[in-house]
Amino acid sequence: MIKNLFPSPIYYAPLASRGLKKLNGELLEESLKFSQIDDAGIEWSEQNYRGGYTSYGSIAHLHQVSTTFEDLKTHIDKHVRQYIKYLEMDVDPKQIQMRTCWINIMPAGAFHTMHIHPLSVISGTYYVQTPKNCSSIKFEDPRMVGFMASPPRKTKAQERNQHFVELKPQAGNLVLFESWMRHEVPQNLSDTERISISFNYDWM
């Protein structure tokens, strides 16, 4: 008998809300507008997000600034509660609240190296614009540090046995993961901007 112990579930699903097309259009419009008027964010991105734009270093609480992003939060909240239930977290879901929310705009060549989201519980991304050949989100097996002499896995190994797994983003879809999971966004190979909205939920 084989048991799969210590899994790392990733939640990936359409936002599935009425009026999604309208909401997505408004998010796209506002994201592009912020990238033009957010001087502090533009300056921060030049140093920390080469080639792209993110409001992470300037306006990282968009759900408190814009009613459009507040509307997005309301829809995401429902998915986060489902995820918490699946993970069987011994916590009142009402205590897990969105704390930060920011824009990511990645033109051709832009990338985001491996990282985690310290001190948060659940993190995720909503995809606004995902052109053909744009970057996936790539997750790393959290046991990697302990593998030592472990042999590599076969090229076509099943997903559960791979050390890295990539999820192809799709506009209108949402991905959620526990904040301690290391992940990255490889170089964008599309000529069109990849636009997403990332967020953290903290235990308030």
What's the rounded Cα separation, in Å, for the pair 196 and 53? 11
Residue 102, strand partner residues:
198
> From CA 194, how far away is CA 196, in angstroms rounded?
7
Domain region containing 92? 17-106
Buried (b) or exposed (e) across 31-47, using 16+ Cβ within 10 A? bbebbeebeebbebbee
Helix axes 67-87, 20-37, angle to 10 degrees: 120
Q: Is 126 helix (H, G, I), strand (E, B) or coil?
A: strand
pLDDT tens for 130-155 read: 999 999 999 999 998 888 888 989 98
Judge whether 163 lies within some domain. Answer: no
Instruction: Tally the domains of the chain.
Output: 1
In a domain, residue 40? The reply is yes
Please check whether residue 1 lies inside any domain of the structure.
Answer: no
> What are the CA-CA distances from residue 12 to residues 31, 175, 192 (Å)?
22, 4, 23
Of 76-80, 101-105, 142-146, least confident by mean pLDDT is 142-146
Sign of the dihedral defined by the CA atoms of residues 44, 46, 49, 52, in that order: positive
Please state the pTM of the whole predicted model.
Answer: 0.95
Concatenated DSSP letters of 130-163: --TT---EEEE-TTGGG-TTPPPPPTT--GGG-S
Instruction: State the CATH number of the domain containing residue 24.
Output: 2.60.120.620
Q: Does 125 map to a domain?
A: no
Place of tokens 């993970």: 87
Q: Above 90 in pLDDT, residue 19?
A: no
**Does a structural domain hold residue 98?**
yes
User: Percentage of the chain with pLDDT > 70?
Assistant: 100
| pLDDT tens string 27-54 | 999 999 999 999 999 999 999 998 999 9
Q: Is 176 part of a structural domain of the chain?
A: no
Q: Residue 144's Cα: distance from chain center in Å?
A: 21
pLDDT, mean of residues 49-71: 96
Distance CA 144, CA 141 (A): 6
